[in-house]
Chains A and B, each alone.
Chain A
Amino acid sequence: MFGFLLRRVGLVIPTFIGVSLVAFFFIRLLPGDPILLMAGERGLSPERYAELLTRFGFDRPIWEQYLGYLGALVQGDFGTSIVTKKPVMDEFFALFPATVELSICAILFAVVLGIPAGVIAAVKRGSGFDHGLMATALVGYSMPIFWWALLLIIVFSGILQWTPVSGRISLLYFFPSVTGFMLIDSLISGQKGAFASAASHLILPTIVLGTIPLAVIARQTRSAMLEVLSEDYIRTARAKGLSPFRVVGVHALRNALIPVVTTIGLQVGTLIAGAILTETIFSWPGIGKWMVDSIFRRDYPSVQGGLVLIAVMVMIVNLIVDMLYGLINPKIRYTR
């Protein structure tokens, strides 16, 4: 297991270097003068320009510039935003909990509905429920989620007026951020109605972001279940007289979940891509919206820093998923 861990972590380092190269050349490939892009100032005097040239190190050879950049990254310096003049890292981690909260809710939504639905479809293979679920899952999988979000807003916020259109919580409530998770903070604050307000703001974004993972998980659970249900040990379990619930819920599900866990892990990249759209539509103050806004504000140091930070987050999650997979499925440790 230790060797497996070491090999897996060893793969992360070249990927990180590659990611840093992409971010490094991002600023240099943009149309326009990189110094003006980095400084975000207009009408620079030649003296100021020369000063910035030295400060950002553009007068040095390119490999030296890169090593300097990589050194800064390793020390946690991800650059400074042009717009807010604050370190990109601080901005990122101020907004990150909002995205994490939304993503966790979306994944929970997908898992809680998707796994039971997939299991029932597999057990009742060929039934109306099975066909209906698979058709629905395919529609969900094909869904342009930005349109889905607009439709849900029309119906639930426009016609029915059940849910708010945007934001994380009603402006009526104000309390200090303790955990960064609005659901928990609103409970801690003890203000009446705060939790309900936070929850009602979460519903539509959760559904929108959770739709594609839900479809993927339901399909994957069904096919994994079908495979496991035809195994010999399931026949044995049935033959020795275990209740159908025990056979399906314990013996079959535990083994069917192995590929499903990987699928859930692989959804993380999809989630962040989805968060870009979902957060933009619902004005959800997370990193997805922040990245889009930064691109439009031409706050390129923020985009550059955000790229690295997001890639690092994805890499960490993938690493954790791989290790979990190695834990629950010993075969993988030796065959890879």
Chain B
Amino acid sequence: MTDIARPQAPAAGPKPVERPGRFQEFWRYFSENRGAVAGLVVFVFLVAIALAAPLVAPFHPDEQFRDRLLSPPAWTEGADSRFLLGTDAVGRDILSRLIFGARFSLFIGVVVVTISLVGGIVLGLVAGFFRGWVDTVIMRVMDVLLAFPSLLLALVLVAILGPGLMNAMIAIALVAQPHYVRLTRAAVMSERGRDYVTSARVAGAGKLRLMFITILPNCMAPLIVQAALSFSNAILDAAALGFLGMGAQPPTPEWGTMLAEAREFILRAWWVVTFPGLAILITVLAINLMGDGLRDALDPKLKRS
């Protein structure tokens, strides 16, 4: 019972786990969903590309070919076959920039999910476990954060912190926080009255042990699903901030920032606009597909609907 959470790690790829039974059960449900498997394959591919970016990319992302400004993709007329997806307005290879951009997007997702998951779990556990005024204060603060549209709050936070990738990630993580807090709190409240918690308490387990070792592992399923959802949301929000000029700053090959730089050329050079957005869409779609699969496999209540 205590390791419903276990399948999370193997989701990244079949690894030997201590209890093959659980993983196999998870994998059976997960692999039933063809979309989820496709999402996983694309995601693993993206991670591989991001890790091996300097090896796979044909050029350095900032290298300029001044005689080749706005060169169209290789399969169109008047193209230079060296640049598979063409070049941008200052002659940089778009494919190479996209490959390096994958690093940023995945990094953003990992950092945002980690910050908001850890913060959300701690606050949610405290609120759900202690109840009373601590709970009231935490939940009212979360209500306030939820009263602002997420992108607006992120924009304002970036205005305070100053534009840049790091600050954008902090802002997005803060905005994603309330969802984790609410989920954790709800799960903790439904678990804390169960017999196994009482018996652990009677056996003399301390508060911290009860919270993190007894209760938390049984609350993980909805959190993992939410983590997948907010991973893709983080990528979208960071790209939106980059697009508005408040995220990663040029010449960073972040996909949203690339789109912002490409805006003025939309009617002249469709490829500078099309490919970065397509990269965002494919990444987000792959993660959302995986998220749907995780939900079906981890949440028995939703499994059959």
Contacts and interface: CB of A to CB of B under 8 A. Distances in A.
Interface stretch (A108-116, A140-148, A202-210, A325-333): A140-148
A26 B160 contact: yes
Main secondary structure of the interface of A (DSSP, over half): helix
Nearest to A311: B147
Given A147-B259, A292-B155, A154 B144 contact: no
A146 B255 CA distance: 12
A62 B143 CA distance: 24
Interface string A30-47: 110000000000000000
Given A15-B140, A138-B289, A270-B149, A303 B273 contact: no
Nearest to A141: B288
Interface in A119-144: 135, 138-139, 141-144
Contacts of A276: 149, 151-152, 155, 244
B43 to A, nearest CB: 13
Contact residues on B (Cβ < 8 Å of other chain), bracket: 35 or more
A143 B281 contact: yes
A277 interface: yes
Given A147-B259, A223-B305, A307-B152, A18 B266 contact: no
B184 interface: no
Given A144-B236, A147-B259, A19 B147 contact: yes
Contacts of A291: 152, 155
A19 B144 contact: yes
A310 B156 CA distance: 13
A158 to B, nearest CB: 5
Nearest to A295: B159
Contacts of B1: none
Contact of B151 (A26, A150, A227, A273): A273
A322 B288 CA distance: 28
Interface string A132-174: 0001001101111011101101100010000000000000000
Contact of B259 (A21, A141, A150, A311): A150
A180 to B, nearest CB: 21
Contact of A18 (B140, B152, B270, B288): B140
Interface of A: 11, 14-15, 18-19, 21-22, 26, 29-31, 135, 138-139, 141-144, 146-148, 150-151, 153-154, 158, 223, 226-227, 269-270, 272-273, 276-277, 280, 291-292, 295-296, 303, 307, 310-311, 314-315
22 contacts: A11-B143, A14-B143, A19-B148, A138-B35, A138-B285, A144-B281, A146-B256, A147-B281, A150-B259, A150-B273, A151-B273, A151-B274, A154-B266, A158-B267, A269-B146, A269-B150, A272-B149, A292-B155, A292-B244, A295-B159, A296-B245, A314-B147
